[in-house]
């Protein structure tokens, strides 16, 4: 079973599940989200289809591949630098979604405030979305970020990591 979202990757909304016919049929009949939710609007469907066409080069350009390459390069650079900083980063290389572990729920609001003060957009995630001691911040990297953007963000995150004692890779005390 594969699941994904159209929100971040394709500028749309909703998501997909790819599985055997039996699994898809079961999910369609049993899942409340399928039963009680509106289907995607035609505009959103067209946005996703158009995004696929650009990615596949069907628009006659290399723009899609250039964006994918930039996204992968930006994501791997950011992940490597966050890890080198001593932060506990979940996920895999090549993924533009970077969960950075905060662990202590009291650090959620502090991390969010410190990032906001520095002009950084971040999503913080706490209980009940994750177990109580698995709080995290989630950075979403884009192909549109420049190396200068990423380096500035990394500099700010480095300062915040010191203030909030987030270097758990180096010490259990952060």
Which pTM does this prediction carry?
0.82
At 95 the pLDDT is 92
* H or E element in which residue 98 lies: strand 97-103
- Rounded average pLDDT over 14-23: 90
Q: How confident is the model at residue 174 (pLDDT cuts 50, 70, 90)?
A: low
Q: pLDDT per residue over 119-155, tens digit each?
A: 999 999 999 999 999 999 999 999 999 999 999 999 9
Q: Structure tokens of 154?
A: 């990394």
DSSP-assigned letters across all residues of 23-84: HHHHHHHH-HHHHSSPPPPHHHHHHHHHHHHHHTTTTSSSHHHHHHHHHHHHHHHHHHHHHH
| Percent of the chain topping pLDDT 90 | 74
Asked if residues 153 and 115 have their Cβ atoms less than 8 Å apart, the reply is no
pLDDT at position 5, please?
83
């Amino acid at each position: 079973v594969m699941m994904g979202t159209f929100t971040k990757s394709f500028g749309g909304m909703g998501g997909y599940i790819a599985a055997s016919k039996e699994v898809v049929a079961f999910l369609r009949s049993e899942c409340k989200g399928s039963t009680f939710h509106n289907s995607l609007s035609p505009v959103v469907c067209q946005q996703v289809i158009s995004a696929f066409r650009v990615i596949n080069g069907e628009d006659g350009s290399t723009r899609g591949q250039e964006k994918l390459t930039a996204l992968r390069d930006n994501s791997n650079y950011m992940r490597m630098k966050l890890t080198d900083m001593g932060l506990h980063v979940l996920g895999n290389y090549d993924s533009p979604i970077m969960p950075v572990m905060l662990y202590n729920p009291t650090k959620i609001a502090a991390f969010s405030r410190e990032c906001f003060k520095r002009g950084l957009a971040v999503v913080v995630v706490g209980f009940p979305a994750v177990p109580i001691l698995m709080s995290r911040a989630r950075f979403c990297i884009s192909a549109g970020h420049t190396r200068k953007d990423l380096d500035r963000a990394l500099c700010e995150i480095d300062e915040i990591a010191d203030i909030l004692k987030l270097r758990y890779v180096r010490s259990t005390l952060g």
